Amino acid sequence: MRGALAKLTWIQVTIIGIVVCAIIGASLYFLMIKKQQEEIAKLTTELQGVEAKAKEKPRAEEELAQAKAELRAARRRLAIYQRTKMIPLSLNTQVDQYHSMVRLWREQSEVLGPLMERHIASTGLEVAGTGPNVFANLVAGQRFNASTGSAVIPVPKPPETPAGITPGVYTVSLGSITARTTRGFPQVLSFLRSFTRAPRLVAVGAPSISGTSPNLTVTVPLTVYYLVEGGAPPAPADAGGPPGDADAGE
């Protein structure tokens, strides 16, 4: 072996050295540089993910701000409905419950029927069983009473105790109203749409239309809605009046 090495010329020794250095360099590449490149690629991928999330943050913040704005607008609309189309009803405290009960006594006994009758009269349709002169009086603020003493719109009795007030939403069914027109289908549509402008929040059921245009008859069920704050009322007391003077003026 030593003899063979002794026979190598300096050129051969130089070539062998170069080959050895190349092998060592390749080993260093695979052991060090390649490892670093893999680490850099991994970190680059993670960075791209972080950058993508960072870009999404402004959009998420915009969507959050838009959702908050829509929520505020919805609350404002609800407040308008409560202020203009409802009476205040609350079950938060026992005093609130009795005040709400007395408000409903007045609402259902004195206020709701005339309000809805005047609204229907303002549409120009005639409720079955009445005449034009009757509705002219309604528009002027006079409530119609037939010879039987019943009104155009019969309103059910109010609750006798706070236990009759439904938590969340209290409804009053006005039954089905039948009205006539001699002005055809457009006035029927105008009549149905008019309940969006009614003095109370009214749900209009599926209408039934009969007759030959322009003489048409429409029958539609009506339900009035009131929002109620608070939870379920307590069991009615055995005896005694409400705890405090009930405010029926609102």
Structure confidence at residue 142 as a pLDDT band (50, 70, 90): very low
Residue 118 shares a structural domain with residue 36: no
3-state secondary structure of 63: helix
Which segments of 102-214 are extended strands (E)? 126-127, 168-181, 202-204, 208-212
* Mean pLDDT across 232-245: 44
Q: Is the peptide bond before 158 cis (omega within 30 degrees of 0)?
A: no
Q: What is the pLDDT of residue 62?
A: 82
Is 0.85 surpassed by the pTM of this model? no
* Same structural domain, 116 and 206: yes
Q: Is the pLDDT of residue 13 over 80?
A: no
Residue 115: predicted pLDDT: 87
Which of 85, 102, 127 represents a domain boundary (last residue)? 85
pLDDT of 124 strictly over 80: yes
Q: Are residues 68 and 54 both part of a single domain?
A: yes
The answer to whether residue 239 is domain-embedded is no
Q: Which contiguous run of DSSP H or E holds residue 216?
A: strand 215-228
Q: What is the largest CA-CA distance in the chain?
A: 142
Please report the pLDDT score of residue 21 as a whole number: 54
Three-class DSSP labels, 111-142: HHHHHHHHHHHHCCCEECCCCHHHHHHHHCCC
Cα dihedral 149, 153, 159, 160, rounded to 10, equals -10
State whether 97 and 175 are in the same domain: yes
Same domain flag for 81 and 143 = no
The pLDDT confidence band at residue 61, using thresholds 50, 70 and 90, is confident
Supply the pLDDT for residue 206: 92
In terms of average pLDDT, the best of 58-67, 70-79, 128-137, 184-193 is 184-193
C-alpha distance from residue 230 to each of 97, 148, 167, 248 (Å) = 9, 40, 7, 19
In 3D, which of 228, 240, 101, 241 has the Cα closest to residue 157? Answer: 101
- Residue 237 host element (H or E): none
**How confident is the model over 143-174, as pLDDT tens digits?**
444 333 345 677 888 998 999 998 989 999 99
End-to-end CA distance of the chain: 118
Q: What domain count does the chain have?
A: 2
Q: pLDDT class for 224, splitting at 50, 70, 90?
A: very high
Let me know if residue 16 belongs to a domain.
Answer: no
Residue 189 shares a structural domain with residue 213:
yes
What is the mean pLDDT of the segment spanning 24-49?
66
Q: Which residue has the higher pLDDT, 152 or 219?
A: 219
pLDDT at 60: 75
Give the pLDDT confidence score for residue 141 in this predicted structure: 44
- Are 99 and 81 members of one domain? no
Q: Report the 10 Å Cβ neighbour count for 247.
A: 13
pLDDT of 103 reads 94
- Domain boundaries, position 98: 89-228
Residue 249 lies in a domain: no
Report residue 149: phi and psi, to 5°: 90, 0
Same domain, 211 and 97: yes
Residue 220: DSSP 8-state:
E
